[in-house]
Amino acid sequence: MHFILNYIYCTLKKTKKTKPNMKKLLFLTFILSLVACDKSSVAQIENSIELTTSSLTYENNITSLPLNFECSSDWKITTTDNWITIDPSSGNASVKTATISAEIYSETADRTTTLNIICGDISKEISIIQKGVIENIQRKDGDVEIIKESSKAIPFNIVVLGDGFTKEDNVKGGSFEKEADKILEFLFSASPFENYKEYYNVYYVYAHSKESGADMSPGKNTKNTAFNSTFGYGGIDRLLVVQNTAKLNLYVKKATQKPNLKIVVVNSNKYGGSGGGMAVASTNSMSNLIALHEIGHVFTLGDEYADEQYRKTYNITLEMAKKVPNVDITNDLKEIKWKHFIGLEGYEAEGAYEGGYYFEKGVWRPQSGGMMRNYKPASFNAISRETIAKIIIKNAGEEYNFEEFLKKDKSHHISKSLSLSPIELDAFPMPVPLEYYYKKAK
């Protein structure tokens, strides 16, 4: 750069003594414009801001957090709210951290503001969120909280209860509510449930257990819980059931006399669950998928995996398979139960795959994998979604219409899934086939 400027200076000096050369002057003008552009680019490069985060979130018991950044020149941080203080609020390029402090906050609603960090002629924003105080509202044993109300005259009633949650767990924003919220959020993001939200009443019923957790074996009551939930039913370690269903149903009736779906969350991080007349799931990291699979059983869906030992032990027959909506004993795509989806745009995954309802041979399922088989993908197949939708719609006293179903289903038929790889999913076996247990326990 210095060389170019020196050359231009010398050339201009010579032109004063000689006759001006227009071509040379034009060339020098061009060079000067390039230098000007280059200097402008340098200026833009020099003014830069690098942030390690775009937001800071304060719990109500935390008042100070560091903000780390890099500015290429002198900087300052500003805000329009006086409940935030910044130290330091300005500095040079060597200063790379400021402490952002918030005043103690006692309201229940969250509050927000924005910081503006300025470096030369550029700036960036940082969002600030301060959490409100969680009210320590104690729920009484048997209390009912209405979470969602239907717009339908005849609602589809969903009742969520917890077992192994103590009095201390059953406060507003406590561990029971967090686990129940997590399962419901996942349920209502999965098709078809996400398409019929206006049909649901949702209730939380609080049950105080003396102790947290669940029994590890049916014959050993090591945990004193409200509904006496246990793993290991029938000698199967991951089989988690509610043993005191009579007491549980009394609690359900505190919410509604006509429950359509009962979900029980058991306060144990051990993997397990069961389904049928109710859906039971632990608080394991896979609880969302366990619950959704077991809810499928409540809606009459059958398991789509093979288990010859179970089939022989419980004398499962092909006649029984005929009554299950999501499997069939024929692979003729013109006659199979889900034939009305075959060939439709968006339903290319539907076909006939051998193995299902505990049979390795002679029974076919609609997709290679899925929610009722192996969680891969973590979604219900088309006939299963339709079966669930029919039950929800008919419960409201409305007539089911296939074309209306397709309109809702086409853009939503891939359910939200947990971010688990196939290898991680393989580490968790499918819930065991126990849909008959709770049918007897109604």
pLDDT digits (tens, 9 = 90+) for 40-82: 444 445 689 988 888 888 877 777 889 999 999 999 999 999 9
pLDDT band at 317 (very low <50, low <70, confident <90, very high): very high
Residue 327 inside a domain? The answer is no
pLDDT band at 4 (very low <50, low <70, confident <90, very high): low
Q: Are residues 272 and 181 in the same domain?
A: yes
Q: Are residues 122 and 161 in the same domain?
A: no
Residue 414 inside a domain? The answer is no
Residue 189 inside a domain? The answer is yes
Q: Are residues 162 and 236 in the same domain?
A: yes
* Domain endpoint, select from 301, 316, 348: 301
C-alpha neighbours within 13 Å on the C-beta side of residue 185:
9
Kindly report the length of the chain. Answer: 442
Residue 5 has pLDDT above 90, yes or no: no
Residue 401 inside a domain? The answer is no
Q: Which residues face 252 on adjacent strands?
A: none
Kindly report the number of other CB atoms within 10 A of residue 151's CB atom: 10
Q: Are residues 150 and 277 in the same domain?
A: yes
Range of the domain at 94: 49-130
Residue 215 inside a domain? The answer is yes
Residue 14 has pLDDT above 80, yes or no: no
Give the predicted TM-score (pTM) of the model.
Answer: 0.68
pLDDT band at 10 (very low <50, low <70, confident <90, very high): low
Q: Are residues 120 and 152 in the same domain?
A: no
Q: Are residues 76 and 212 in the same domain?
A: no
* Domain endpoint, select from 301, 321, 348: 301
Q: Are residues 66 and 200 in the same domain?
A: no
pLDDT band at 333 (very low <50, low <70, confident <90, very high): very high
Tell me, what's the pLDDT at 419? 41
Residue 167 has pLDDT above 80, yes or no: yes
* Contacts of the segment 87-96: beta carbons below 8 A, 24+ positions apart: 96/68, 96/69, 96/70, 96/71
CATH of the domain at 167: 3.40.390.10
Report the mean per-residue pLDDT for the chain.
Answer: 84
Contacts of 91 (CB under 8 A, 6+ apart): 74, 75, 76, 98
Tell me, what's the pLDDT at 34? 54
Q: Out of 12-21, 244-253, 292-301, 432-441, which region has the weakest mean confidence (pLDDT)?
A: 432-441
Q: Are residues 181 and 292 in the same domain?
A: yes
Residue 19 has pLDDT above 70, yes or no: no
Q: Are residues 150 and 295 in the same domain?
A: yes
pLDDT digits (tens, 9 = 90+) for 97-125: 999 999 888 887 889 999 999 998 899 99
* Domain endpoint, select from 269, 284, 301: 301
- Tell me if 282 sits within 8 A of 272, measured CB to CB: yes
Token representation of residue 232: 């290991």
pLDDT digits (tens, 9 = 90+) for 204-258: 999 999 999 999 988 788 899 999 999 988 788 888 999 999 999 999 999 999 9
pLDDT band at 31 (very low <50, low <70, confident <90, very high): low
Q: Are residues 153 and 272 in the same domain?
A: yes
Residue 25 inside a domain? The answer is no
Token representation of residue 365: 């399922």
Q: Are residues 112 and 244 in the same domain?
A: no
Residue 183 inside a domain? The answer is yes
CATH of the domain at 125: 2.60.40.10
Considering only residues 10 and 210, tell me which one the structure prediction assigns the higher pLDDT.
Answer: 210
Domain count, the chain: 2
Q: Are residues 152 and 287 in the same domain?
A: yes
Residue 421 inside a domain? The answer is no
